[in-house]
């Protein structure tokens, strides 16, 4: 008889979207706006503010309604959110609910500027921010005696993979296993995809509508940090990254940032059990850019279902619930 994990894993790896939700865009937008990845009361968080080594801060949300038997002895699930995400994101709520049901601890560190308050330093966050990820994980590791498992979603998934690639064998002392969900592991492919056609009109505009005001607030904090007129004229993520993200984080420009920040070229360096889950109809992550089995090491497993969209995976009758994504992903992690 199949275990619950085997059934969940099979459904995630071979996910078929409901007939009423055709195409990658619908499978992305509907779950984000209308999906609910759990039944019952929404998770409640308690926030901690951490001072960073460079004199800035990050905010970390911890699950407040946990049924953890003993917090120091309960496993800890750490979730790294996507571009402009937070603990309010639909996927964050779903994973936090899973942790509540399992009696686990749960932590969601907000990348700088994503917790609702502008950070202090003349920097923000980016897809290859592995040093920040490493600092966060090392600090969280000291809080638990049991295993620490990590999940990164979209941008957070790429950054988490980059951390594991850079640390190689030493990653196992911090994280037992990890997963990247809908991660744009080829940043150039994803960046160009989001700048074309429907994507440009919907997703590109949505991200810039959030990111530009934050960048302008950062300029008010640090006058002369970048060219204001160039930022205002940026019509896509390539142009935004060229004037803001790349130079503020030590890259020569967008091309340098996207090349050095991408996880795909280094997946064979990972030395801890890692799941990389990407739907092949993800509007942000072209199927042609996804890695093949021969491009990853023995520690990396690839799930690439034909359907699911970007952090979508809706299922069931209309209006549909999201697929039990936490159950499938966490089942894989626990088994490894």
Identify the burial level of 47 via C-beta atoms within 10 angstroms of its C-beta, where 0-12 means exposed, 13-18 middle and 19 or more buried. Answer: middle
Q: Can you say how many angstroms the Cα of residue 95 is from the centroid of all Cα atoms in its chain?
A: 12
Nearest-angstrom CA–CA distance, 329 and 275: 8
For the chain, which residues make up each domain, given as ranges?
Answer: 4-186+271-335, 190-261
Catalytic residue among 129, 282, 289, 299: 282
DSSP string, 292-314: PGGGS-TTEEEE--S--TTTT-E
Q: Considering Cα of 208, then 188, then 258, then 224, what sign does the dihedral take?
A: negative
Annotation says 54 is catalytic: no
Catalytic residue among 11, 127, 154, 182: 154
Average pLDDT, consecutive stretches of 10 residues, N- to C-terminus, the chain (336 residues): 42 67 86 71 93 97 69 87 96 93 95 97 97 98 91 98 96 97 98 95 95 98 98 98 98 98 98 97 96 95 94 74 75 91
DSSP string, 99-135: HHHHT-EEEEEPPTT-SSS--SSS----TT-HHHHHH
User: Which fold, 4-186+271-335?
Assistant: Rossmann fold (3.40.50)
CA distances from 34 to 30, 96, 213, 216 (A): 5, 18, 26, 31
Confidence at residue 321, expressed as pLDDT on a 0 to 100 scale: 57
User: Which tokens sit at 139?
Assistant: 């600090």
Confidence at residue 235, expressed as pLDDT on a 0 to 100 scale: 97
Confidence at residue 74, expressed as pLDDT on a 0 to 100 scale: 87
Confidence at residue 65, expressed as pLDDT on a 0 to 100 scale: 60
Q: Can you say how many angstroms the Cα of residue 62 is from the centroid of all Cα atoms in its chain?
A: 17
Annotation says 282 is catalytic: yes
Annotation says 289 is catalytic: no
């Amino acid at each position: 008889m199949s275990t619950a994990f085997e059934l969940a894993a099979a459904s995630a790896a071979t996910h078929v979207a409901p007939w009423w939700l055709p195409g990658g865009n619908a499978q992305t937008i509907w779950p984000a706006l209308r999906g609910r990845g759990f039944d019952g009361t929404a998770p409640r968080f308690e926030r901690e503010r951490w001072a960073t080594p460079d004199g800035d801060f990050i905010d970390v949300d911890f699950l407040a309604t946990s049924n953890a038997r003993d917090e120091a002895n309960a496993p800890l699930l750490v979730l790294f959110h996507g571009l402009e995400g937070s603990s309010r994101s639909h996927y964050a709520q779903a994973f936090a609910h899973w942790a509540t049901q399992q009696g686990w601890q749960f932590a969601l560190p907000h990348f700088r500027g994503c917790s609702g308050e502008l950070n202090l330093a003349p920097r923000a966050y980016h897809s290859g921010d592995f040093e920040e990820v490493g600092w966060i994980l090392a600090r969280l590791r000291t809080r638990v005696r049991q295993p620490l498992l990590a999940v990164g979603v979209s941008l957070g998934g790429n950054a988490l993979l980059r951390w594991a690639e850079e640390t190689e064998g030493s990653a196992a002392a911090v994280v037992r296993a990890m997963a990247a969900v809908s991660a744009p592991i080829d940043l150039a492919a994803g960046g160009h995809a989001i700048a074309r056609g429907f994507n440009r009109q919907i997703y590109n505009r949505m991200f810039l509508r959030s990111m530009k005001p934050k960048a302008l607030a950062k300029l008010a904090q640090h006058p002369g940090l970048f060219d204001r007129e160039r930022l205002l004229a940026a019509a896509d993520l390539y142009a935004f990254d060229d004037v803001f993200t790349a130079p503020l984080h030590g890259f020569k420009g967008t091309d340098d940032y996207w090349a050095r920040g991408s996880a795909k070229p280094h997946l064979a360096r990972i030395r801890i059990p890692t799941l990389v889950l990407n739907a092949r109809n993800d509007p942000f992550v072209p199927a042609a850019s996804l890695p093949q089995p021969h491009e990853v090491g023995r520690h990396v497993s690839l799930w690439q279902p034909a359907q699911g969209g970007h952090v979508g995976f809706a299922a069931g009758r209309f209006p549909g619930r999201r697929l039990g994504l936490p159950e499938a992903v966490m089942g894989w992690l626990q088994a490894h």
